[in-house]
Structure 1
Amino acid sequence: MISIIIPVLNEADTISRLLTHLIENSSSKNISEIIVVDGGSTDGTLGILRPVRLQKPDRSEVNSNQSKGLDCARPDIKLLSSDKGRAKQMNLGAKHATGSILYFLHADSFPPKDFDQFIVNEVQKGNQAGCFRMQFDSNHWWLRLASWLTQFSWRASRGGDQSQFITKTLFNDIGGYNENYIIYEDNILINELYARNEFTVINKKLTTSARLYRKHGVWKLQYHFWTIYVKKWFGASADELLAYYKKYVC
């Protein structure tokens, strides 16, 4: 069984659509629960989530959820509150997960149809961790090229937007996400998985938002992401990476 863990912070524009997408594109036989971990949203995210997290909604709640486009024949949706920081949020979600497979997903990333079965198939083959290939919701030629490159197993092509599945046993053995990293936490875990030769890429497309590229401009944001990657390569600390991110990206 899979526990889907979604860290959120001010995701009112996407979270309802994502939950509907997950329910409509998976089988309840594979999903233990969907755990949404909020890091202090102030935009109405909690107002969307609270009505849909009950295990057995009454008739009025069913009608309310249907009006939001949410299918009530769904796995349990749990809402947790956490300190801000994706690493902290995802670790808290993992702590409360009942599934033997953890699937970490960003709130603006939409996995392919039957994603749950693809993940189960990989674990049954002995692959304890991995991700999907990715495509941006943009036709910009560079983002299309970057998306195309994610089908390959190269370490440089990895990122948290591609989502991350990992067995709970392996996740606990690694020690979870490093909470010292406010940014780059996904890559720290991925580095550890590559070091253990425990990573596979499922050749099915997950679609993720290019909203940050649209906000800052493709080349400007890509330059800053490359700079962060190189800084980490040369030994920059978690605080140094965060300071750079806050100065140029936030």
Structure 2
Amino acid sequence: MTQAIPSLSVVIPCLNESERLPLLLADLQQGTSNHELVIADGGSIDGSLAIARLSGAHVIAVEPAGRGHQLAAGARQASGTWLLFLHADSRLPKSWAERIRSVLLSPQAAASAWYFDLQIQPGTPMRHLLAKAVALRSRWLQRPYGDQGLLLHQTLYARSGGFADVPLMEDLDLVERLSKIASLRPLHTPLITDGRRWDRCGVLRRSLQNFKLKRRWKQGVSLETLARDYYAS
């Protein structure tokens, strides 16, 4: 008898991603149709909503905009046994569905949270080096970030408390809580992310900014203050 595949909900926060969202939706449709698609929109005015609806996604309007707020709202609407969180500017490889399916069918998989391997495009030597550093951090420190995606069982998501309604670092906030109750494991499958963030200030400067933000957060600086400083820069 063929084993039934547990249901999967893909949750994507979106804000004015009309150029990149169609590419991710195409990747998802090519991989498998056996998933629910939830897009949490923070007030797009560029056509993203129409694109999302044409894909057959369950679209919810979330106000005010904020990735943590949108992810939490999307998760509340998701009906799948498993949740897959992706950023709207991500791209999936052709093998993504097969790899996800193998995890979903593993009896032990629900005890862990899973993440993709970061790949930044267009690629440069510095970006390849950054991706290797991210892989080491994710494996040894158990700290993958949101641009690596996150796959986990609904039960584990609920136990962790889920995404908090915070203005910044919602991914690290959740991962820190997850790491106390579960292991975070690599899918050994790439997730391609758009390099626009690094285009603006370069790999080294961007990495230094992220390091300083995390250090200040650990020192007790409020996320509201960090968000104001981050977006001002």
* TM-score interval for Structure 1 and Structure 2 normalised by the shorter chain: 0.7 to 0.9
- The Cα offsets for residues 138-187 of structure 1, whole Å up to 9 and x where unpaired, read as 333221111123434123762100001111111112221111x2110011
User: What's the counterpart of residue 139 of structure 1?
Assistant: 123
The answer to whether the 8 A contact 1:5-1:35 is kept is yes
Structure 1: state its 5+ residue gaps: 54-76
The answer to whether the 8 A contact 2:24-2:92 is kept is no
Q: How many residues align?
A: 221
- Alignment pair present for 1:18 and 2:24: yes
- Alignment pair present for 1:107 and 2:88: yes
Mapping for residues 169-208 of structure 1, pairs under 5 Å: 169-179=155-165, 181-208=166-193
Extract structure 1 runs of 4+ deviating beyond 4 A: none
User: What's the counterpart of residue 246 of structure 1?
Assistant: 231
Structure 2: state its 5+ residue gaps: 1-6
Q: Which of 50, 55, 58 lines up with 1:52 in the alignment? A: 55
Q: Distance in 1 between matches of 2:32 and 2:38?
A: 16
- Alignment pair present for 1:9 and 2:15: yes
Q: Distance in 2 between matches of 1:182 and 1:120?
A: 33
- Alignment pair present for 1:155 and 2:161: no
- Note the aligned Cα RMSD (angstroms): 1.8
User: What's the counterpart of residue 232 of structure 1?
Assistant: 217
Q: Distance in 2 between matches of 1:103 and 1:147?
A: 21
Question: Under a length normalisation based on structure 1, what TM-score does the superposition of the two structures give?
Answer: 0.82
Q: Which of 17, 33, 36 lines up with 1:28 in the alignment? A: 33
- The Cα offsets for residues 87-131 of structure 1, whole Å up to 9 and x where unpaired, read as 111111111111100000001111232323323433424233110
- The Cα offsets for residues 35-59 of structure 1, whole Å up to 9 and x where unpaired, read as 1110011222123223333xxxxxx
User: What's the counterpart of residue 164 of structure 1?
Assistant: 150
